[in-house]
Structure 1
Amino acid sequence: MSRTVAIIPARGGSKRIPRKNIRDFAGQPLIAYSIKAAQESGVCDRVIVSTDDDEIADVARSFGAEIPFIRPPSLADDLTGTGAVVEHAVRWLTERGADPEFVCCIYATAPLISAERLSAAFKLLEAQPDMLHAFSVGRFSYPVHRGLLRDGDGVRMLYPEHLMTRSQDLPEVLHDAGQFYWSRLGQKQNVPMFGPLSIPILLPDWQVKDIDTEEDWCHAEILYKVIQAERS
């Protein structure tokens, strides 16, 4: 039995950055950073990559991840959500007797992920049996309550009632950091991740970066290299 399983979704059909999951990022395929973080966290009994792509599967295996199945085409299109991919992997494992107690979905596009925070998040969730999830979050650098929307050729406030509210009087607002999502299985299924039974794991600003465009990619590589230089 594998008590804790990391599942890394990595389909082959990335549109905005082709072959993004295995493109070279600071000397290694992008997916390698997520695989290594799971391995080095010390809390993942198995590290599984769910993919529909043979090349991604080969790269993932070369870094020590398992590819026990090839994801069906029905779960590899642009409209398939991460939840359905993780559910498929958990069902596959359960049907074969693995029956994990905790599962961690780790995005393949998270090169700034920290094995230490991955481990700390699991231990927090494990220690609080009434909580069902623990996932990475960042904080908005500017108060969203003072945000603006385009309005024709001009703008309008998203929350006009806060026109005169001082920034320091507004609540801190968090956002999904897009790195990892721990879940406790076997009870209260289908409880949403973004809810009162989830533990937010706050990451520092420099560790949070979505990679959706070439500009994002360049920025993330710069951040990664700076972090490595500071650690050396």
Structure 2
Amino acid sequence: MSGCIAIIPARGGSKRIPRKNIRLFHGQPMIAYSIRAALDSGLFDRVVVSTDDAEIAAVARECGAEIPFVRPDDLSDDYATSMSVVQHAIRALQEQGAQMEFTCCIYATAPFVRPSFLAEGLARLQANPNASYAFSVTRFPFPVQRGIRINRMGRVEALQPEYRFTRSQDLEEAYHDAAQFYWGRTEAWAKDDLLFSELSIPIVLPRYLVQDIDTVEDWKCAELIYTAIAARDNLP
């Protein structure tokens, strides 16, 4: 078995930002950025979008992706996981005769995903045969040990009071999922190997290239970041 396939999940039922996968972001459908990064990387034999939505499918095709199957309704609601969507896509493609050693899930709302980091993820995974996945992470901008909660009285409590007086430079640096891409050995996806575990290799991204886009506020932050990067790099 050989080859690499990109799978971009893009359901039609986004509620907090309606139609966000194809909503225009700096003049392009949001999903276009993920498709273009996958195509420009030259890493993939096929770039596939998994969707239940005809309009998303049409936009994805215009951007250069394939839609070789329709995602079933039971994997298109608010409770469907990325793992189950990727597993379904792998099965559907294998039933059509596809063979791939590596499968990369790229989120449809990742306008800052870069071909260079996709390439690093694949190279690191190939160089580590005991690893199942390689995925994007970034550093927390503030020590997580200093996190606080607002209690029922509307007052502040330390989540980890034992670190209240520890110098920030003495605290362990923490990372979080950057929600851009997830390389995996196809057999690891199929076996349901844990993603957030010692089986995974972190691909560390700079914080300025990371922005979750789940709310309108997130979208506005992403637009501001993209505007700054575009001005610096003379992007359209």
Is the pair's TM-score, using the shorter chain for normalization, greater than 0.5? yes
* Structure 1 outlier segments of 4+, above 6 Å: none
Between the aligned partners of 1:49 and 1:122, the Cα distance in structure 2 is 20
Kept in 2, the 8 Å contact 1:21–1:30? The answer is yes
Between the aligned partners of 2:82 and 2:69, the Cα distance in structure 1 is 17
Between the aligned partners of 1:49 and 1:116, the Cα distance in structure 2 is 21
Between the aligned partners of 1:190 and 1:11, the Cα distance in structure 2 is 21
Unaligned ranges ≥5, structure 1: none
- 2:195 is matched with 193
Residue aligned with 2:197, SS: coil
2:207 counterpart (196, 202, 205): 205
- 2:41 is matched with 41
Which amino acid in 2 is paired with 1:173? A
Kept in 2, the 8 Å contact 1:2–1:45? The answer is no
Kept in 2, the 8 Å contact 1:210–1:216? The answer is yes
- 2:218 is matched with 216
- 1:162 is matched with 163
Give the CA deviation at 1:160: 1.0
Residue aligned with 1:90, SS: helix
Residues 151-196 of structure 1 deviation map (CA, whole Å, 9 limit, x = unaligned): 1221111011111111111101000000000001235922211111
TM-score by length of 2: 0.95
Residues 71-119 of structure 1 deviation map (CA, whole Å, 9 limit, x = unaligned): 1111101111111100000011122221211000000000011111111
- 1:177 is matched with 178
Give the CA deviation at 1:7: 0.3
- 1:78 is matched with 78
Between the aligned partners of 2:215 and 2:187, the Cα distance in structure 1 is 37
Between the aligned partners of 2:210 and 2:37, the Cα distance in structure 1 is 15
Kept in 1, the 8 Å contact 2:83–2:192? The answer is no
Residue aligned with 1:20, SS: coil
Unaligned ranges ≥5, structure 2: none
User: What number of residue pairs does the alignment pair up?
Assistant: 232
- 1:226 is matched with 228
Question: RMSD of the alignment, in Å?
Answer: 1.3
Between the aligned partners of 1:80 and 1:13, the Cα distance in structure 2 is 12
Between the aligned partners of 2:2 and 2:34, the Cα distance in structure 1 is 19
TM-score by length of 1: 0.97
Which amino acid in 1 is paired with 2:187? G
- 1:120 is matched with 120
Which amino acid in 1 is paired with 2:84? A
Residues 29-74 of structure 1 deviation map (CA, whole Å, 9 limit, x = unaligned): 0000000010011111110000000000000000110000111111
Kept in 2, the 8 Å contact 1:52–1:70? The answer is yes
Between the aligned partners of 1:125 and 1:52, the Cα distance in structure 2 is 30
Residues 14-93 of structure 1 mapped to structure 2, 5 A cutoff: 14-93=14-93
Moved more, 82-91 or 219-228: 219-228
- Identity rate, percent: 56
- 1:149 is matched with 149
Which amino acid in 1 is paired with 2:145? H
